[in-house]
Amino acid sequence: MALSQDDIQFIKAHMGEWLAEQSLGKPSVVYEIELRERMVRVEEALKHQGELMRQGFEQMEKRFELMEKRFEQMDRRFEQSDKRIEDLIKRHDHQFMWLIGFITTIAALIIAAGKWL
């Protein structure tokens, strides 16, 4: 039994309607219940994910605070080191000035001794 062209055209024209009626147009009660259950599960999963994200952000905030404290401690140590270095430079400058004075005095004595001889 072969289909005529009119039958084929009729089938093509109404195929979309028939498929929509069978699957998406009127979903069965069981399908609607399954969809609702899925939506509830997805909402619960999203809620759980949000809670996990909040906890993660809180932990990150705590870690940032700890890092900030460490940086402050390091900054204090650098300040102490800078002060020690400045004290050392002052002491060396004082010794250098004393050495220059000593050398100048010795040179002056040698020059003066040379004139007296």
One pLDDT digit (tens) per residue for the chain, 117 residues: 677 888 788 888 888 777 766 665 556 677 788 888 999 999 999 999 999 999 999 999 999 999 999 999 999 999 999 999 999 999 999 999 999 999 999 999 999 888 876
Can you give the pTM of this predicted structure?
Answer: 0.45
What is the model's pLDDT at position 29?
Answer: 74
Q: Is residue 94 part of a domain?
A: yes
What is the model's pLDDT at position 53?
Answer: 96
Q: The domain containing residue 60 runs over which residues? A: 24-116
User: Phi/psi at 39 (nearest 5 deg)?
Assistant: -60, -40
Q: Is residue 14 part of a domain?
A: no
Q: Is residue 10 part of a domain?
A: no
Encoding tokens for residue 29?
């009660």
Task: Determine the Cα–Cα distance for residues 66 and 74; give it in Å rounded to an integer.
Answer: 12
Q: Is residue 42 part of a domain?
A: yes
Single-letter amino acid, residue 59 = Q
Task: Determine the Cα–Cα distance for residues 84 and 106; give it in Å rounded to an integer.
Answer: 33
Note the Cα 7 to chain centre separation in Å. 66
Task: Determine the Cα–Cα distance for residues 57 and 63; give it in Å rounded to an integer.
Answer: 10
Name the CA dihedral angle for 50, 51, 53, 57, rounded to a multiple of 10 degrees: 130
Q: Is residue 28 part of a domain?
A: yes
Query: How many domains does the chain divide into?
Result: 1
Q: Is residue 5 part of a domain?
A: no
Q: Is residue 49 part of a domain?
A: yes
Q: Is residue 2 part of a domain?
A: no
Encoding tokens for residue 72?
């402050």
